[in-house]
Every structure is written in C-alpha cells, then in structure tokens.
Amino acid sequence: MSFTKIDYTPLYLKVKDVITQRIVDGTYAPGKLIPSEADFAREFGLSISTVRQALSILVSEGALDKKQGKGTSVTNRKTPVRFLTWYPEFSEGKRIMYGLVELINANLPSIEVQIVPSTYVTLKKDLINYISNGNCPDLIQLPTFWTSYFSSMGAFEPLDELVSKENISARGYETDLAGGVIDKKIYSLAMGLCPMALVCNNSLLQKAAVKIPAHPLSMREFSLVCTQIDAVLGEKQYSYGLVASKDELDFLCIYPLLTAFGGGFDVKGGKNLLDTKENIKAFTWIREFVNSHKTFRSDIFTIRKLFAKGDIAIFPDGPWIKPQMAQHSMKHFESNYTILLNPGTSGISTSWQSNHSLAISSQSPHKKAAAKVIEVITGNNKISEYFYGETGVLPVNKHQRVAAPFNTAFGKTFRKQLEHSSVLNARNPMFEKAMLLCKNAVHRILFEKADITAELAEKEYYLKMIYYE
C-alpha cells in the first residue's frame, strides 16, 4: 500500500488511520501482535521513523501496547463510542436501544458503544451544549433536516471516506442520501427510512364502517371518510389529529397534504420557497378540511396518547409509531391499527422522508469506530433485522427492504408510501429559521383566518431575506 493521493495530511497520521481501521475491523485482534515497524515501512513505502511516529500515538492513546523485545500488540481495551440518541426517552425505546447496543458490541468486539440519552425535544439544545463544551459524543442521532445547521458550524465530519462505498451505494438518493449531502459531501446518513403516512385506529374505523382501499384515497374521498367517522364519534372523540404545538412539526405534519397539490417548501425548479399557486390551493383545502371535521389540535405526544386510548381516528406519523403504540396501548399493532397512504391526486400518494439519521462529531477521537457502528446498524443483516423489526422504520438498504421480515401489511404500506417520497430540501443552514416562519404561516392560516394569498406572500418576503441576503 502506498499513499499517492495528494492532500496535506502528515504521512504518520495516514499510517495511524490505516492501522486504527485494521484494529476496528478486527484485522489486528486484541492481545495479538501487529506487524513490526520494518514490515509496515515496507508495506507503506515509508521510513521507519514515520511508522514509529504513528505507532507511538496509538500507544499513547491506549490502542497498542509496546513491550521491549516482545513487539507491539493490540490492547484488550475497547474503543468507546458515545452515542447520543433520543430513543431511550420512553421505556420501549430504551429497551430497543440497549438491545441494539448489545448486538453491536457483540458484533464489534473491539468497540464498546455507550448510550448518551437525550429526548427529542431537548436533543438540539443538548447537542449544542456538548459541542460548546468540547465534549460532543462520537455518534449522533438526529432528524435529517438538522444536518445543514450543524455541518455549517463544522460540528460534523464528512462521511464519504469513513463509511464504506458498499454501504453508501446500497442507499437511495432522494429517500436518503440527498438529506445529508451538503456542498457535495455526506454529513449524515439515514439510520432508517421514515416516510410520513396516516395511522388509523381500527376500532373507530370499524365503528364507522370505513373500509380502507389498497389504492390512495383522493382528497375528496379522504374528507368523506372523516365525515363518515365524525358521524359516530362521542363527545370527546375526533376523526383527525392535527399537530399544533410550537415547533416545525406543525408545518411538517401537514407537508404531505401540500405535496398532494404539487406544493411544499423550496420545491426544485421553483422561484419561490413557499408562495406558490400549489401551496395556496393546498392551504385552502386544508383549512376547509380542518373546519369541516372534528379535529383535535395538540402536540404530537398528546395526539399519540389519545390515539392509543381510542379517541382519535386518524393522524399523520412515521413508521416509528409502532414502538410508540406498544408503549401507550400494549396492543398488537397490526390487529388494532392500520397504515393508510396519504390522500393524493391522480391516484398518487406523496410524502416526505422524516428520517432518523446518524452523524459523526468532528470532535470525536474515534471517528473510524463510529463509522463502523453506522455500518453494522444499517448493513449487518441480523442487527438490521432486529432494529428495523422493533422500531418499524424501513431498512436503508434497498435489498433488505424486500426481505421476508418486512413483508407485513405495515411494512408493505410504508414501502408503497416510499415510492413517491423524498427528503426535504434542507441544505440551506437557515432551514431551521425558515421552518419557524412556515409554522407561523400554518397557525395564521388555520387558526387566525388570515388571508392565504397575503400570508404566503408576506412569509415569502422574510424567507428570501434570511435565505439569500
């Protein structure tokens, strides 16, 4: 092996990286001797002094143990990978994540994954604090659309050279990779694919004698279904759960209804970010729908709880609803709940990818080990089958998605939803601020009866100001 690619990384650090990778992937096993300095020098075509520099760093970091006259061996100390995740915020998620970590650690004997728990609501604040204190966990779980915000501040390491080409090439672009690519570099990769669809409570559908067809409902048909459900509901029951809280989910949870009319945010080829004729048409329909049906308005967490109790018939969510319902209702999912494709036009159901992604901190001293963890979660068949089976999210590997464990009604419907679903165009670092304006537009239009055309035009002015000026 020789280092011929032109860059400015010192040669001894390149040697260190290669040896580190071999330790991580098990080529050099714990307790075993590694090749001599002379052997490495011949392999890399470098001087012994350069190799010695690389090995001395690994000895000082505790990865290698050098004994005079006996050679250098890999220590039995495992490489720690601290993993920041919000999944343990509820008991079912905690069970799933610690089960996942157990499988990872068994599969990667030279690595020890350590959970750093957070919550979905506090994750961004927690991550900023870790970064500011110079103590950021190695591996970070995050909503994909946060990638540009953190990569723009230099918080994430590019993954192009860390994660194997095999893992990357097995992914889809519009459903996965596009969400993590910023300035032609990959800064995050999906942990699982999460197209937004509609979750239905079977008991209320049966009470209203509603039968779910295999094809997507038209916008009119969906409204009629909710009218049918409204007719049999009790005083504190609702046909639809509308997310209305204080964050971007207020906008993102109605996003599939915007795309049904060809709308959305910063749609490719469009001159405007939000103020389009498609969005005007979509918001007109949404407001009429909300005002015409028994709609419960609250945060997503409250909606999930009431849905589990049987007080809400339909609401938008992703595949991770599966462990959420296991937590709230303790009922078998497919016997009690049904996934419904988003209503659409021309027989096509559209959506967006609310993916849970993985990124590696630029502060991490164990980047290669963290990359190995990404690969086994998303590429190892046994580990992937466990993780995706427990969480409900779809495998990122297109070959795994059609495997037998995912051929349930739940998996098939979300796979069908995936056909016309893509990640948001969130490459601009100001995307988070843009979502605040979009959320405000939702509230003004749906709850304050603002003129739709005027409201979108006003928001467009401010959106372009923060995006382009």
Question: With contact defined as beta carbons under 8 Å apart, do 160 and 371 qualify?
Answer: no
Both structure tokens of 155? 């918080």
Q: What is the pLDDT of residues 2-19, one digit of tens each?
A: 555 556 678 998 898 899
Say if residue 375's pLDDT is above 60. yes
How much is the average pLDDT of 327-333? 83
Please spell the DSSP secondary structure of 120-188, one letter per residue: TTTHHHHHHHHHHTT---SEEEEEGGGHHHHHHTT-B---TTTS-HHHHHTS-TTTTGGGTEETTEE--
Q: How far is CA 401 from CA 168, 185, 225, in A?
A: 15, 26, 31
DSSP letter at 359? E
Write phi, then psi, for 310 (nearest 5 degrees): 90, 20
Question: With contact defined as beta carbons under 8 Å apart, do 415 and 396 qualify?
Answer: no
Q: Where is average pLDDT lowest: 176-180, 222-226, 266-270, 407-411?
A: 266-270
Look over the chain and give the mean of its residue pLDDT values, rounded to a whole number. 92
CA distance 154 to 146: 13
**Element (DSSP H or E) covering residue 352:** strand 351-352
Both structure tokens of 212? 């779910």
Confidence at residue 353, expressed as pLDDT on a 0 to 100 scale: 97
Task: Identify the band that residue 227 occupies on the pLDDT scale cut at 50, 70 and 90.
Answer: very high
CA distance 31 to 79: 14
How much is the average pLDDT of 376-381? 91
pTM of the model: 0.85
Alpha helices in 33-122 (DSSP H): 37-44, 48-60, 91-107
The sign one gets for the Cα dihedral 347, 352, 357, 359 is positive
CA distance 25 to 332: 39
How much is the average pLDDT of 146-162? 96
Confidence at residue 8, expressed as pLDDT on a 0 to 100 scale: 61
Confidence at residue 3, expressed as pLDDT on a 0 to 100 scale: 58
Domains of the chain in sequence order: 11-74 (1.10.10.10), 79-194+354-420 (3.40.190.10), 197-352+430-468 (3.40.190.10)
How much is the average pLDDT of 330-334? 82
Confidence at residue 5, expressed as pLDDT on a 0 to 100 scale: 53
Confidence at residue 269, expressed as pLDDT on a 0 to 100 scale: 67
The sign one gets for the Cα dihedral 352, 357, 362, 368 is negative
Q: Please enumerate in sequence order all residues whose Cβ is within 8 A of that of 113, keeping only pairs 6 or more positions apart, or say none.
A: 81, 83, 101, 104, 105, 139, 373
How much is the average pLDDT of 103-117? 91
Strand pairing of 356-360 and 238-243? unpaired
Write phi, then psi, for 435 (nearest 5 degrees): -65, -30
Does 5 or 329 have the greater pLDDT score?
Answer: 329
Confidence at residue 25, expressed as pLDDT on a 0 to 100 scale: 79
Length of the chain: 469
Alpha helices in 81-122 (DSSP H): 91-107
Q: Please enumerate in sequence order all residues whose Cβ is within 8 A of that of 440, keeping only pairs 6 or more positions apart, or say none.
A: 459
Amino acid in the structure at residue 87: Y
Q: Where is average pLDDT lowest: 1-10, 159-168, 173-182, 290-299?
A: 1-10
